Structure 1
Amino acid sequence: MSGASAVSGVDPVDPLSAELLRSVVDVARAIFGAEASSVFLLDEAAHELVFQAVSGRGEAFLVGRRFPADSGIAGWVVTSGEPMIVADLSRSAAFDRDFAKSTEFVPDALMAAPLIHGDRVLGVLEVLDPAPQARSSLGELDLLALFARQAATALRLADDRRGPARTARPADPAPSPDLAEGPRSRALDLLEDLRSVLQSPV
């Protein structure tokens, strides 16, 4: 694997980006009752996905690990730009079981959504072994996609702050009345916190 490099325009060692990503995976894991949650960012030059934040299983050793950007379900999400729920990974041809074994955690189910800003896919947000009710609900997948979309916007703004001053803000989430109010409120509370961090003085 290649060495460290800029990933989709986001410096992986930038403290603001690192804190933001850690918040995203911690809250995503809690919202969906998952065993683990990860953010992979796309290194376009190397065509690799990089573990940039991990909560739960694997958090002690997976950050910084790379794998081909067209590999597994995360690779499918990057390529398609679409979110995905797989309730039974034993039946998924896209699931890279050998890679999962190398991470020391083979989940039974996962949810994944692309981090999209404009027309670019910046990476993928995954939750592994979410609570059973989250595995069969389109509303929960919509929530994950909303969360990933807003997190991607915040990531780009964090990157912009290292350049000339910008006045842009993350877009307010579109109303989603079908989403469960409890999890949705917790996710939007986090995004409001991220917005406050991004607007604070450098």
Structure 2
Amino acid sequence: MRDSRDSSAGNESTVSAVDPLAGELLRSVVEVARAIFGAEASSVFLLDEAAHELVFQAVSGRGEAFLVGRRFPADSGIAGWVVTSGEPMIVADLSRNTAFDRDFAQSTEFVPDALMAAPLIHGDRVLGVLEVLDPAPQARSSLGELDLLALFARQAATALRMADDRRDRDTARAAAPGSSAELADGPRSRALHLLEDLRSVLQSPV
């Protein structure tokens, strides 16, 4: 399997597949997750099944200016473990974790001490991973915090499902132009409500 850690070439299929509104929702997910957990950074990786790679799709905090679109092998590091297992994970001390890919972390210009990760699941498919890097100390060993992270991951998976709905709507609109107004309201309305829910979480007392 080729290692494309240092290349963003060829990522158009995954990146372009994300509807702009879904992209906004994913950015809201990482921003809210970073704020809620008091973290240095938060990221959503999407799984490119054909290339067997994970792609940075949304980033908040450290690396947000240059990591979006970057790829790495889907079986690499803790994100790879989460994709394979479909289970969330908290690591309070990465120096003691053999799954952590320190070389790749160094290549991103940020090596965290701790992280939390949860899979983005839709039906029986793992679509990607939500990671929170260097969360506040009180968030690093609590099962309740892990449940909260899983909730954010479900929100991200919902955003991706809405992107699929939107593409289905566009296909249906092309086949039946007279029904476009009715089709336009459903997924977009649900997406906007989800975005408002995320903003409400951010504004609520922690």
The TM-score by the shorter chain falls in which range?
A: 0.7 to 0.9
Is the Cα contact below 8 Å between 1:7 and 1:44 reproduced in 2? Answer: no
Q: Equivalent residue of 1:161, what SS?
A: helix
Is the Cα contact below 8 Å between 2:44 and 2:57 reproduced in 1? Answer: yes
Q: Does 1:102 align with 2:107?
A: yes
Which aligned runs of 4 or more in structure 1 are off by greater than 6 angstroms?
none
Is the Cα contact below 8 Å between 1:22 and 1:53 reproduced in 2? Answer: yes
- Which residue of the partner structure matches residue 189 of structure 1? 197
Q: Does 1:65 align with 2:70?
A: yes
Larger RCO of the pair (alpha carbons < 8 Å, separation 6+): 2
- Which residue of the partner structure matches residue 156 of structure 2? 151
Q: What amino acid does structure 2 have at the position aligned with 1:189?
A: D
More helix by share: 2
Matching residue within 10, 17, 35 for 1:11 = 17
Q: Does 1:141 align with 2:146?
A: yes
Identity fraction in percent: 83
Point out the structure with max Rg over C-alpha: 2
Matches of 2:141 and 2:73, distance apart in 1? 28
Q: Offset of 1:20 from its aligned partner?
A: 1.1
- 5+ unaligned residues in a row in structure 2: which ranges? 170-182, 202-206
For normalisation by structure 1, the TM-score amounts to 0.80
Q: Offset of 1:192 from its aligned partner?
A: 7.7
Matches of 1:109 and 1:102, distance apart in 2? 17
Aligned counterparts, 1:25-174, within 5 A: 25-164=30-169, 165=183
For normalisation by structure 2, the TM-score amounts to 0.78
Q: Offset of 1:159 from its aligned partner?
A: 2.4
Q: What amino acid does structure 1 have at the position aligned with 2:44?
A: V
Q: Equivalent residue of 1:94, what SS?
A: coil
Matches of 2:199 and 2:81, distance apart in 1? 26
Matches of 1:41 and 1:153, distance apart in 2? 13
Inter-CA distance 17–189: structure 2 relative to 1 (3 Å threshold):
closer
Q: Offset of 1:150 from its aligned partner?
A: 2.6
